[in-house]
Structure 1
Amino acid sequence: MDRNSPHRRRLILSLSALAMATVVGAAHAADPVKVGVLIPGSKSDKGWMESGYTGLQQAEKEFGGKIKVQMIENINYADMEQALTNLASKNDLVIGIGGQTQAAVFKVAKRFPNKKFSIVGGNQGESAPNIAGYDVKQAQIAYVAGAAAAMLSKNGAVSYVGGMEIPSIVNAGKEFGNGARAINPQIKYVENYTGDFDNVSKSKEATLAAIAQGADVHYHILNLGLRGMEQAAKEKGTHIIGSYTDRCGSDPLYVAYSITGVGYQVHYAIAQTVAGAWKPGYKAFGLAMGPEASDMTICGASAEQKAKLQQIKKDIMDGKIKVLEG
């Protein structure tokens, strides 16, 4: 073929265009998924927020260059909508860590219909085509934690301190009491709410009040407010059942841990998005999703204690023990 022929020139141009399209397509395929994460509290609170942050770190380690993360931390309730708007304008997936982000997520998601939103701690009810709500089922594991607390209490009295007095937190408190009474029908149960997940002085005051009534094992749904519970327990020689992550052996103040897979759900949202399998709608996690999603550990548990907890978890999953939503 004549190198100067029109046909040859067209062939070269066609091949060049194909090569360029291939390069552009490969570059496009390699673009990372942009993930925006709102952590309303502190990522080092030993609780919900830290668990969520740990899940984010695990996702970054696993997916490497496949994702690019923007995180906003320590945001007041009044500023959540603005923070979420910032994240939604720059990212493909926005994750709100905590049910307290839900109202703001639903407002912002309407303005960004082509962006994906996941709420870790989302409740069943309101829905939108670009929002996934992941229910941690705190009430389930709170029931199991109540049973563990009753097994561990020497005084026959246990307590619970919750932050905001919203349905999911109140329901968890009720089920903690129910679980304790399942082991010891005569147990004394003290329940308090501070109105703030992060208020250290209020949670200390609430814990001291419970200790004054005999409580020697405490459970919580708090963020930084947990520091106040720790202070009270140390001063009075009582103990705490921790939440979200198993840290047995790290602090003698803690005698057990409930695992509530906040980080597991953060990782799940990112993994589903990377795989192109992300779906909107309500999804229940809890005990049915396995020990990474929900579990209970007594530090140094006896065989009898382990067997009792295992049976309780099975009975909840089988529906023999019915617990509240949340």
Structure 2
Amino acid sequence: MKNFLPSRRSFTLAAVAAAAFAAGAPAAWAADPLAVGILIPGSKSDKGWMESGYDGLVAAEKEQGTKVKVQMIENINYADMEQALTNLASKNKLVIGVGGQTQAAVYKVAKRFPNVKFSIVGGNKAEELPNVAGYDVKQAEIAFVAGAAAAMLSKTGAVSYVGGMEIPSIVNAGKEFGNGAKYINPKIKYFENYTGDFDNVAKSKEATLAAIAQGADVHYHILNLGLRGMEQAAKEKGTHIIGSYTDRCGSDPLYPAYSITGVGYQVQYAIREAVGGTWKPGYKAFGLAMGPQASDMVVCGATPEMKAKLEQIKKDIQSGKIKVLEG
């Protein structure tokens, strides 16, 4: 367990405020910032979901300045999430769980802390509580578009997907990735695998190598640190990966495309709403309907034809012409 401590800048500002208050400055000038606790179950440098969430936190701190004070806990096992969230809820007014895997623990803890607001990034429709908001990234939507992009990029006519925990949102995204690939090429071969762990490097490498052995040359994932295993396999065999969550075109030739799943955007949204007094409980769908910050597909160096096709697919998903699973 690792706590994120306030920056030196925060301590300095707090010291200045205290000195000014002691000298007779108005009390309002030294108003308390919103205390925000955030649980990032994996590594904040995983090049995936968790890093996107952390990037959103950094952006929110920059946006809000002294209006917020943040405590972060990262790298927590599933079994320890409830304890970590309890720790955060006892010290903060807003608690954010980054990832659907935090949802069950958030609901347990939220019932014990009715005066604390909880936001789940990657939350699905569930029991309604007056102090819990679930933000659905709609991974299945953009996975369909990613599958279409993968089929366009594939030279072998075979693509693959590796997911972590076999939970509905992750499985539905995998199915829609395959459906998107088949939408472009009905004869494409599609290989789907789950490691049972978002962070297991060895298992994700093994799953990717198995798919490569059957011809797959473009891979997609919903993994955290497990992505390292996929990268190792792809580098060894000369295949490619469609990245997730953040557009990093030009940073690594291993990645010819990226699906944007606004994990960081939702973290920033939760903090902005809480600071502004407009935070609301309940389920909220993000996805393509919320614009490119929330969901998008970027193919690095895409042809005009490819861009047009992907844009049409996104429009057809939003209109309901193409129907995708929840998740």
Provide TM-score, normalisation by structure 1: 0.92
Secondary structure in 2 matching 1:227: helix
Unaligned stretches of 5+ residues in structure 1: 1-21
Aligned to 1:186: 187
Give how far 1:131 is off.
0.1
1:273-316, Cα deviation, whole Å (9 max, x unpaired): 00000000000000000000000011100000000000000000
Secondary structure in 2 matching 1:41: coil
Aligned to 1:9: none
**Matched letter for residue 285 of structure 1:** F
**Matched letter for residue 137 of structure 2:** V
Aligned to 2:54: 53
Q: Which runs of 4+ in 1 moved over 4 A?
A: none
Aligned to 2:167: 166
Q: How far apart are the structure 2 equivalents of 1:299 and 1:267?
A: 26
Secondary structure in 2 matching 1:90: coil
Secondary structure in 2 matching 1:192: strand
- With over 3 angstroms needed to count, the CA separation of the structure-2 counterparts of 1:27 and 1:111, relative to structure 1, is farther
Aligned to 2:96: 95
Q: How far apart are the structure 2 equivalents of 1:56 and 1:127?
A: 26
Q: How far apart are the structure 2 equivalents of 1:297 and 1:27?
A: 44
Q: How far apart are the structure 1 equivalents of 2:257 and 2:240?
A: 9
Secondary structure in 2 matching 1:254: coil
Q: How far apart are the structure 2 equivalents of 1:78 and 1:27?
A: 42
Aligned to 1:128: 129
Q: How far apart are the structure 1 equivalents of 2:93 and 2:29?
A: 17
Secondary structure in 1 matching 2:90: helix
Aligned to 2:233: 232
Aligned to 1:109: 110
Q: How far apart are the structure 2 equivalents of 1:316 and 1:81?
A: 36
Q: How far apart are the structure 1 equivalents of 2:299 and 2:184?
A: 15
| Aligned positions, number | 303
Aligned to 2:17: none
Aligned to 1:257: 258
Q: How far apart are the structure 2 equivalents of 1:196 and 1:255?
A: 25
Aligned to 2:20: none
**Matched letter for residue 81 of structure 2:** M
Provide TM-score, normalisation by structure 2: 0.92
**Matched letter for residue 55 of structure 1:** G
Q: How far apart are the structure 2 equivalents of 1:231 and 1:276?
A: 46
Which of the two has higher C-alpha Rg?
Answer: 1
Give how far 1:178 is off.
0.3
Q: How far apart are the structure 2 equivalents of 1:59 and 1:158?
A: 36
Unaligned stretches of 5+ residues in structure 2: 1-24
Percentage of matched positions with identical amino acids: 84
**Matched letter for residue 120 of structure 1:** V
Give how far 1:222 is off.
0.2
Aligned to 2:293: 292
Aligned to 2:7: none
TM alignment of 1:1-326, pairs within 5 A:
23-24=26-27, 26=28, 30-326=31-327
Secondary structure in 1 matching 2:43: coil
